[in-house]
Each structure stands twice: as structure tokens, then as C-alpha cells.
Amino acid sequence: MSSSGIKSRDAFATTLGAFTATVGSAIGLGNIWKFPYLTGSNGGAAFVLAYLLCVALVGIPIMIAEHVIGRRTRQNAVQAYETVIPRQRGWSAIGWGGLVAAVLIMAFYTDVAGWVFAYVFKSLRAFVVGTTLGQGDFAALAGGTWEPLAWQLGVLALACFIIASGVSKGIERATKTLMPLLFVLLLICDVRALSLPGASAGVSYLFRPDLAKLTAPVLLAALGLAFFKLSLGMGTMTTYGSYLPEATRIFPNAARVAVADTVVSLLAGLAIFPAVFAFGGTPAGGPGLLFNTIPLVFAKMPAGGLFTTLFFILTAVATIGAMVSLIEVPVAWLTEKRRLSRPVAAIVTGAGMFALGALATLSQSPVLSGVKIFGKSFFDLFDFLSSNLLLPLGGLAIAVVAGWLLARTDFQAELDKGFAARPWHTKLMSAFVKFVAPVLILVILLDSLGILRLS
């Protein structure tokens, strides 16, 4: 229970707990699967650079804005935005957009998480029989019908079960213990990948930008990824803000989360691209990149198959933290506004997510692979609509609320909490939330619509 004495709501017990839970939401498939996959399909280092700038200039300020609004209102995302500005209930649209985004994200996220869980077992079996998983194995899994559906359903059921058991107990405990392990295993992967002959080409691919590659779609993808990875623009971080202890210092907490999240992404990139180049693969390998590369990284190592299995186990754990935070958005609303019990709310939410999720999964099997909407499969469409559209738009609206409508003194008072005197960053961050972040989001969105030409 937080020091503010809220009795009716669950809350993070300590600042450390709040930090690890926030990191637990941020770190997930976004780092391990999506960051390498998008970096590979958007041309490498230029994308990484754009992504890092988006995190620093947009991501951190929006995370701060969400935490301020969450902690001030201490409500679920929909009600937080409904009440944060008196007599302007319409901002609850941010919360509604967030509910939609959460369901859209979960639709493809659970598909990928299902692959991860499947790979835990597949890599263990490969180890036992003495083979290595190859491209054909991934294609067979992702392109199948019942198998990926069953994994998706299993993963969703597990996440809903965790959610039903409560905030601090469920989320904090799992993330605190297992995240450091993932970190160590990524380091082992990196050492292994970097020592492969030809690995340096992968390092340059990741860190030597060719600025000519910074086109409008690349910038939009980088912005979308920054939102997606830091769980921003849809109320997750607002909800988590509502659980923050009064003593937690909002800016240092957000900055640490962003740094930790970025480090994990770069570590994942350093495990994958050197290996891709060393084995003569293609960086633009699409969503299968992670699954096709990691088994190769470990293939020739002693007990490599066991490391592969461990890698997918820890990735599975990371996906749970993120999924739990996604499901928490609708569940917090259903329990507080609609007065459903947590288990019922979790079941209702999970059922809705599975309905859409099945479309995303089947869009890669012969069943629905022929169906394209705006030229995209359901899987790609859900991803594009949520990451590249709803989250940045949500972020823009959040910046308007926190930067322009909320009284500046109120905004700054939240940033000052936990400090004896006003820290250096309070004024800087209010300027970022008010000007820098919204202007950048707007420019990138307009650029990608062709209304404004940057490049």
C-alpha cells in the first residue's frame, strides 16, 4: 500500500517495486523480437539512431506526463483522463483509445509470445535429439493453423490468470526475480555472437548510420517503436503511475526505465546482427528473425541447445510482464468502473483479445493469408494501427493535457515530489512535455502522411 493512504486500490509497495514493475512492462517482445526485426527491415543504424532520439526527446517526456496524470488522479486510464482536467471529460478518449490499442497490440503480441513459448519446448526437444532448429521449423510453426492458435490461447490464459491474482503480488514478484537473469543471458549471447568470424559487419550495421535511409516511413516506425517499447500513449503508464508511491521521483524513475529498456534492446541487437552477418543471413528477415537466428548463435557451443532453451524461457518471462501490463488497462477499467471482479474482468478481456488474436495468427496460415486490408495482413495491420497510429496520437493528446491544460504548478509539483528542493529537471521536463515531444510527434505523423516533407 502506498504512503498516500489510498485504501481501496492496490499499489506498488515501494519505489523499487514500482521501478521493476515499470521495467517489467517496458521490457518484452518489443526489445527482443521487435527492435531487431524493425532495425533489420528499416536498414539498420539510421533507424537505431532515430529510435534513440525518439526515446530521449519524446519517450521520456511522455512517460513523465503519464506518471504525473496517473499519480494525481489515482484512477484507471479512462477515468484518469476523464477527471484530470475539470469540466473537460472528453479527454477520456485517450483512455478509450488506449483500451482499443491494448486489445490490438495483444492480438499480435500473443501470437508472437505463443511462438516464444513453443520455442522453449522445440529447442529443448532439438537439444535432446541432437539437432538445431532451422528456418523450416519457424515457417512451419508460424504458418500453421491449430498449433500457433493453441500456443496463443495458452499464453493468454496464463497472463489472465496472473492478472486475476492482483497487482503488487502478481506483477512485482515475477519481474523482480527474473529480469536480471534475462540480462545475464543476453550478455552471454552477445559474447558468443560477437566472437563469431565476420561479426563486425553486424556491429557496423547496428551502429554506423547512413542518414540517407531516414525516410518518412523509417521515422514513423522509429517513433512507433519508442511508444511501443516504453508502453506509452495508451494508458499503461498512466495506470502504473496511479500505483506509484508518493515518494517516487518521477523523472529519475522514468529515465532509468528508458535507459534499462534501451540497453536491453541494444543487447538483443548485438546478439542477433553479428550472427546474421556471420551466417550469411539477411537482416530484413521479418518477424521470424529472432527465431531463425538465436538457435544458430548457440548451435556450435557446448550445450548450445540448453542455452537456446534458457533464452526462450527468459524471453517468455519478459513477455509475461509486458502482457500483464497490457491486460491491466482494460481490467483496471472493468473492475473500477464496471464493478466486475478481477477474475471476471480478466476472462472478459482475454476472450476479446483471443477473438482478434486468432485473426492475426491465422493471417499467416493458408486460412487467412490471402486476406489483405490496405495491403496489410491482419497481423501487420494490428501492429501498424496500434504502434504507428494510436500510440503516437495518444501521446500527442497526453502531451496536450499534461503540458497545456493541467496547471503548470500542479504538473511541476508532481515532479518535485521526493526532493527536498526543486530539482534541475522539473522546468526542463515541463518544456519537453509542452513543446518538444508534441511538436516532434506531429512533425513525424504529418511527414508520414505526406503533408509535410522532411526528406
Instruction: Say whether residue 25 binds ligand PHE (CB under 6 A).
Output: yes
Question: How many chain residues are in contact with ligand PHE, going by CB under 6 A?
Answer: 15
Q: Minimum Å distance from CB 352 to ligand PHE?
A: 16
State the amino acid at position 83 in one-letter form. Answer: T
Q: Minimum Å distance from CB 281 to ligand PHE?
A: 24
- In the list 39, 236, 253, 388, the residue contacting ligand PHE (rule: CB under 6 A) is 236
Member of 11, 18, 21, 29 binding ligand PHE (CB under 6 A): 29
- Does position 30 bind ligand PHE by CB under 6 A? yes
162 binds ligand PHE (CB under 6 A): no
Contacts with ligand PHE, 206-235, as mask; x by CB under 6 A: ----------------------xx-x--x-
Which of 228/243 has CB closer to ligand PHE?
Answer: 228
Smallest distance, ligand PHE to C-beta of residue 184, A: 19
DSSP code string of 279-326: TT--TT-GGGHHHHHHHHHHHTSTTHHHHHHHHHHHHHHHHHHHHHHH
The three cell numbers of residue 364 are 499467416
* Contacts of 31 by beta carbon, 8 Å cutoff, 6+ apart: 229, 261, 264, 265, 268, 318
Say which residues have a Cβ less than 8 Å from residue 117's Cβ, sequence separation at least 6: 151, 154, 155, 312, 316
Of the pair 229, 425, the CB lying nearest ligand PHE is at: 229
Amino acid at residue number 75: Q
C-alpha cell at 174: 515475477
| Positions 329 through 388 that interact with ligand PHE (CB under 6 A) | none
How far apart are CB 328 and ligand PHE at their closest, in Å? 9
CA distance linking residue 414 with residue 233, whole number of Å: 19
Smaller CB distance to ligand PHE: residue 151 or 228? 228
Nearer to ligand PHE, 31 or 42 (CB): 31
Q: Which stretch binds ligand PHE (CB under 6 A): 29-37, 121-129, 402-410, 414-422?
A: 29-37
State in angstroms the smallest separation of the CB of 360 from ligand PHE: 15
Q: Of 28, 97, 269, 274, which one interacts with ligand PHE (CB under 6 A)?
A: 28
Query: Residues, the chain, total?
Result: 455
Three-state SS annotation for 107-169: HHHHHHHHHHHHHHHHHHHHHHHCCCCCHHHHHHHHCCCHHHHHHHHHHHHHHHHHHHCCHHH
* Shortest spacing between CB 130 and ligand PHE, in angstroms: 33
Sign of the CA dihedral 69, 74, 77, 78?
Answer: negative
Comparing CB distances to ligand PHE, the nearer of 239 and 248 is 239
Find, among 62, 64, 38, the residue nearest to 50 by Cα.
Answer: 38
Distance in angstroms (rounded) separating the CA atoms of residues 147 and 163: 25
Please, which of residues 307-336 interact with ligand PHE by CB under 6 A?
322, 325-326
Task: Name the minimum Å distance from CB 122 to ligand PHE.
Answer: 22
SS3 7: coil
Give residues in contact with ligand PHE (CB under 6 A).
25-26, 28-31, 105, 228-229, 231, 234, 236, 322, 325-326
